[in-house]
Amino acid sequence: MSARTAPLRLLLATEHTEQDGGAEAVALALAHRRGEPLAAVLPLARDAELEMVAPAAAERADAEAATRREALVARARGTGVAMDLRLRRGPQRHAEILDEARERSAGLLVIRRRGRRGLLANLLVGEMVSQVLAQATCSVLVVPREGQLWRRAVLVAVDPQHREPSLPAAAAVFASECGAALRLVCVALRDDLRPAAEQALAQALGDSGDAAARGEVRVGAVATEIMAAAEACEADLIVVGRHGSGQARARLGSVAREVTGRAACPVLVHAPAPASLPAKGS
Kindly report, residue by residue over 95-129, the tens digit of the pLDDT. 999 999 999 999 999 999 875 444 444 445 678 88
Q: How confident is the model at residue 48 (pLDDT cuts 50, 70, 90)?
A: low
Euclidean distance between CA atoms 113 and 155, whole angstroms: 19
Euclidean distance between CA atoms 104 and 277, whole angstroms: 13
Q: What is the pTM for the complete model shown? A: 0.87
Residue 247 pLDDT > 50: no
Residue 249 pLDDT > 90: no
Q: Give percent of the chain with pLDDT exceeding 90.
A: 67
pLDDT value for 10: 96
Euclidean distance between CA atoms 181 and 267, whole angstroms: 16
Q: How confident is the model at residue 6 (pLDDT cuts 50, 70, 90)?
A: low
Structure-model confidence comparison of residues 90 and 55, the more confident one: 90
- The DSSP code sequence of 63-93 is HHHHHHHHHHHHHHHHTT--EEEEEEEES-H
Average pLDDT, the chain: 86
Euclidean distance between CA atoms 277 and 136, whole angstroms: 13
Q: Which amino acid is at 210?
A: D
Q: Convert the pLDDT of each residue in 62-101 to its tens digit.
A: 888 889 999 999 999 999 999 999 999 998 999 999 999 9
Q: Cα–chain-centroid distance for residue 70?
A: 25
User: What residue spans define the domains of the chain?
Assistant: 7-148
Exposure of 223 in the CB half-sphere (CA atoms within 13 A): 16
Q: Give percent of the chain with pLDDT exceeding 70.
A: 85
Structure-model confidence comparison of residues 225 and 122, the more confident one: 225
Residue 51 pLDDT > 80: no
pLDDT value for 13: 97
- Segment 180-203 mean pLDDT: 97
Lowest mean pLDDT across 1-15, 78-92, 93-107, 132-146: 1-15
**Strand, helix or coil at 162?**
coil
Do 259 and 251 form a contact (C-beta atoms < 8 A)?
Answer: no
As a whole number of Å, the end-to-end CA separation of the chain is 14
**Across-strand partners of 88?**
43
Residue 46 pLDDT > 90: no
Residue 225 pLDDT > 80: yes
Euclidean distance between CA atoms 267 and 242, whole angstroms: 12
pLDDT value for 118: 45
DSSP 220: S
Phi, psi dihedral angles at 11 (to 5 degrees): -140, 120
CATH fold of 7-148, please? Rossmann fold (3.40.50)
- Segment 119-145 mean pLDDT: 80
Is the bond preceding residue 43 a cis peptide, omega within 30 degrees? no
Q: Among 86-95, 157-166, 186-195, name the most confident range.
A: 186-195
